[in-house]
Structure 1
Amino acid sequence: MKVLGSGQYRYERVERWPNVPKYFEMGQPSDVAVNSSGEIFVLSRGNHPVTVWTAEGDFIGSWGEGMFSPVPHGIFIGKDDNVWIVDCNAHVAMEFSPHGQILRTLGNKNSPSPTCEGRLVHSQPFNMPTNLAIAPNGDIFVADGYGGHKVHRFNSKGELLLSWGRQGRGPGQFELVHNVWIDSRDRVLICDDENDRVQLFDMEGTYLEEWEIGNPSGICIKDDIVHFAQLQPFENKMNGRGSGSISLYDLDGKLLASWDNTASDDKETLIGPHDLCVAQNGDIYVCEVYGWRMSKFRKLD
């Protein structure tokens, strides 16, 4: 067994997760989330967009067939166990019951916002969004990633309250708004992927600070530990320079532990970590877009 990470944050990669049934194809995994029962929901780009698994990797079921564009991007499970899917190419964020019944949609499907630099059209706020997170007060923050270069804040009723950001490299500007999370200090953490940084804001969109982190693609905060999936450009994988890393930080931006393919004799420990989630017991589940696979990293005592 190769131990990954360090100190209190040590892990081992589970040899095979999940146990995909014979003749079943998951497709390319994009994001992953865990519900209050410990069930793992994987969002994939394929014939079965949402698959549900036990922590041991046994198949529970799937839903969402025919409901999304070819590039669904993000999944988030709220405290009520409802499932949010952010569909990048359809320009919407959709809320579902745990069993896949659609409850509501934010944005206008297949109708992107016509602007990312000028005045925002409130009736259709998204242009290739990537992910969302729900704050403790129920407000919904959406990363309007590839086209919008903005962050949108909605109340729990789905009413748009605030938008900020534009394309650029300065404070409060974004090259790629790839992911978002809210911490226990009511700060909004934005993965500004192509600017190699995480920007932190208050809930009113006021810039606070930034952390220099290479290619922050995925984020999940559990017990005040910020977990990042760092997706290196594909050419790095092709050049044999690895394909990403997992890093853990505290809320002050101090690095606690990290690992990549150089931390193991196995050069395929990570094959393009795109996003991740953390279970109640600390186990980490990672979507690897280059490897078209899921990985589980079991937390060691």
Structure 2
Amino acid sequence: MKHNQRRNFVKKTMMAASAGMVLPHISLGKEKDNKADKNKIVGHGNFQYKVNKEWGIQDPAKVPINDCHEMVMDDSGRLILTVSGEHNANILIYDKSGKVLSSWGDSFPGAHGLTIAGEGSDQFLLITDPEVHKVFKTTLDGKIIQTFSAPKEFEGYQDANLFKPTETAVAPNGDLYIADGYGENYITQYNSKGEFIRYFGGKGITDETFDCCHGITVDLRNPNTPTLLITSRGKQEFKRFTMDGKYIETVKLPGCSICRPVIHGENIYFAVIVTKDWWKYDGMVAVLDKNNKVVSLPGGSEPNYKNGILESPMYDGSTFLNPHDVCIDNDENIYVPQWFSGKTYPIKLTKV
């Protein structure tokens, strides 16, 4: 969903609620105490998980949230979450038990994409905020090191407000890639000093262009030939590019509106934020093997291919409320932040 469409979705939902229309059940910070739900197993094959909807729950009076977006894990095992909103901290720091250790940031009201790079004490974050049209490079405790706005090196941005970045990725050599998923759909590449290198992509339906380049990551599974995986969410696919922006291939995933690919081991994981209808709570998690075949859909129907094409999956109707990202820990557990889910805190899927 493009940025302005998301705004309209929220606005219409609020109007529907005030008009007395029945909306899907949601809870503000705490799920219903349901024994069956606590013991629910989701997923398929070697990727099955026990659902824990209580993992991240906090006291909303002490740790208020709005929409949760993305999560990463630092070298010490802390889980870092972006949360949009003007009246809450935009960054929450969890431990693996689900306790919030600290929070910071009130300068990122549209806090969206979150990338971590570097090692040890040199780790840093990249936070995208399409609301303020910027990308922020920060320390792990919130000091802003560098800020990126609409690039001036090419003519794609006559108005700086057209720049609405959703995600970033960092190459092994330190190059930074910014995906403008809610804006003009360009990918802009900078070196480690923040100096412009090139751009590619843009809005369109060709192999080289995107319909909402919502997510981007560097695929290092072949260490000799790293590549970029970039979402084209409106087309329910992701595309592979060389590190200098040359198109390689498209992986089509019918019925799956992909947020961002996340690499763990030899697998690709991502949140499917919606399958059919933005007006109904929806979504699941997808796990792909090294050949880009879906092998598990936690929160959805068993993956099935017909004539080599994935059949559109079905939401199970209860596990997720618009999942937006996945973070995988060293035990292969998955943490799932959710967008527009009634202010719910992240869910944990424990590997079984």
Normalized against structure 2, the TM-score is what?
0.76
Structure 2 residue 235 is the aligned partner of structure 1 residue 188: no
Q: Provide the C-alpha distance between the structure 2 equivalents of 1:231 and 1:261, rounded to a whole number of angstroms.
A: 12
In structure 2, the residue matched to 1:274 is 324
Q: Provide the C-alpha distance between the structure 2 equivalents of 1:236 and 1:280, rounded to a whole number of angstroms.
A: 33
In structure 2, the residue matched to 1:10 is 48
CA 1:223 to 1:262, structure 2 compared with 1: closer, same or farther past 3 Å?
closer
CA apart distance, 1:261:
4.9
CA 1:102 to 1:247, structure 2 compared with 1: closer, same or farther past 3 Å?
same
CA 1:161 to 1:210, structure 2 compared with 1: closer, same or farther past 3 Å?
same
Structure 2 residue 133 is the aligned partner of structure 1 residue 97: no
Q: Provide the C-alpha distance between the structure 2 equivalents of 1:26 and 1:96, rounded to a whole number of angstroms.
A: 21
CA apart distance, 1:141:
1.2
CA 1:164 to 1:125, structure 2 compared with 1: closer, same or farther past 3 Å?
farther
Structure 2 residue 174 is the aligned partner of structure 1 residue 138: yes
For residues 29-108 of structure 1, the aligned pairs below 5 Å read 29-46=68-85, 47-65=88-106, 67-68=107-108, 70-80=109-119, 81-107=123-149
In structure 1, the residue matched to 2:282 is 243
CA RMSD of the aligned region, Å?
A: 2.6
Q: Provide the C-alpha distance between the structure 2 equivalents of 1:113 and 1:37, rounded to a whole number of angstroms.
A: 34
Is the 2:117–2:170 Cα contact (8 Å) retained in structure 1?
Answer: yes
Q: Provide the C-alpha distance between the structure 1 equivalents of 2:295 and 2:301, rounded to a whole number of angstroms.
A: 17
Stretch deviating more after TM superposition (41-50 or 284-293):
284-293
Task: Provide structure 2 residue ranges, at least 5 long, that are not aligned to the other structure.
Answer: 1-38, 303-313
Structure 2 residue 43 is the aligned partner of structure 1 residue 27: no
Structure 2 residue 199 is the aligned partner of structure 1 residue 199: no
Is the 1:219–1:227 Cα contact (8 Å) retained in structure 2?
Answer: yes
Q: Provide the C-alpha distance between the structure 2 equivalents of 1:153 and 1:206, rounded to a whole number of angstroms.
A: 13
CA 1:114 to 1:244, structure 2 compared with 1: closer, same or farther past 3 Å?
farther
1:223 to 254, 259, 265: 265
CA apart distance, 1:79:
2.7
Normalized against structure 1, the TM-score is what?
0.88
Stretch deviating more after TM superposition (7-16 or 93-102):
7-16
Structure 2 residue 336 is the aligned partner of structure 1 residue 286: yes
Larger C-alpha radius of gyration, 1 or 2? 2
Structure 1 consecutive aligned stretches of length 4 or more whose deviation exceeds 2 Å:
112-115, 118-122, 233-238, 259-268
Aligned residues: 289
Amino acid at match of 1:253: N
Amino acid at match of 1:20: Q
Task: Give the % identical residues.
Answer: 25
CA apart distance, 1:84:
1.2
Amino acid at match of 1:9: F
User: What is the DSSP-based 3-state SS (H/G/I as helix, E as strand, rest coil) of the residue aligned with 1:260?
Assistant: coil
Task: Provide structure 1 residue ranges, at least 5 long, that are not aligned to the other structure.
Answer: none
Structure with more of its chain in helix, by fraction: 2
Q: Give CA-to-partner distance per residue, 1:155-201, whole Å, 9 cap, x none.
A: 11111111101211110111101000011131100011001110110
In structure 2, the residue matched to 1:296 is 348
Amino acid at match of 2:128: V
Is the 1:36–1:79 Cα contact (8 Å) retained in structure 2?
Answer: no
Q: Provide the C-alpha distance between the structure 2 equivalents of 1:252 and 1:281, rounded to a whole number of angstroms.
A: 23
Q: Provide the C-alpha distance between the structure 2 equivalents of 1:49 and 1:209, rounded to a whole number of angstroms.
A: 36
Q: Provide the C-alpha distance between the structure 2 equivalents of 1:261 and 1:195, rounded to a whole number of angstroms.
A: 20
Structure 2 residue 191 is the aligned partner of structure 1 residue 147: no
Q: Provide the C-alpha distance between the structure 1 equivalents of 2:174 and 2:331, rounded to a whole number of angstroms.
A: 25
Is the 1:261–1:268 Cα contact (8 Å) retained in structure 2?
Answer: no
